[in-house]
Amino acid sequence: MAGLELEWRATRELSVTSAWAFNNATFTAGELDGKRVPQVPKASGSIGMRALFGAFSGTASFRYLGAQYDDDRNDFELRDGALVDARAGWRPARRLELFAAIENAFDEEIDTGRTPIRTVGSPRLWRAGVTVRY
C-alpha cells in the first residue's frame, strides 16, 4: 500500500488538501491466490478546500472510490464512483455557529454491495443546524 497526503495553505484563510491511497491487496495462497481482497479499491482519495473569512467558513471536497469487489471470489464488482460534498457556516457569536451542508451533491449512485443484490449508498443529503460550544 502507498499513500499520499498533502496540504497547501495558499493564505491564512484558504487551504487545499488532498489524500490518496493506492493498494494492491491480493490473496497469496490457497484457492483465492491472485484474487483481490474484497472491499479494498486499488485507488481512493479526495481533494478538498477550506476557507475561513471572518465569521464565515466553507469547505468543499471531491471523493473518489475505485472499483473493488464485494466478495472474496471476485464475482461481484462494485463500480468506481465519486462524490462531492460541501459545507458553509456562519458564526454570529463566539460559541454559536449556524451551518448548512450537502453530501453527494450530484446524487450519484455509489455501489455499496452486490452479494448478489445491488445496494447503493445514500442519495443527496441536505442538512442544516446550529452548533453551540460550551
Domain span holding position 50: 2-132
Which among 72, 73, 84, 87 is positioned nearest to 110, based on CA atoms? 84
pLDDT in tens, the chain (134 residues): 899 999 999 999 999 999 999 999 999 999 999 999 999 999 999 999 999 999 999 999 999 999 999 999 999 999 999 999 999 999 999 999 999 999 999 999 999 999 889 999 999 999 999 999 99
- CA 27 to chain CA centroid, nearest Å: 26
Q: Under a CB-based contact definition with an 8 Å cutoff, are residues 103 and 83 in contact?
A: yes
Q: How many domains does the chain have?
A: 1
pTM: 0.87
In angstroms, the CA 9 to CA 61 distance is: 16
Hey, is 67 helix, strand or coil?
Answer: coil
What does the pLDDT look like over 90-122, one tens digit per residue? Answer: 999 999 999 999 999 999 999 999 988 999 999
65, exposed or middle or buried, with CB in 10 Å at 0-12, 13-18, 19+? buried
Q: What is the pLDDT of residue 94?
A: 92
Backbone angles phi, psi at 123, to 5 degrees: -75, -175
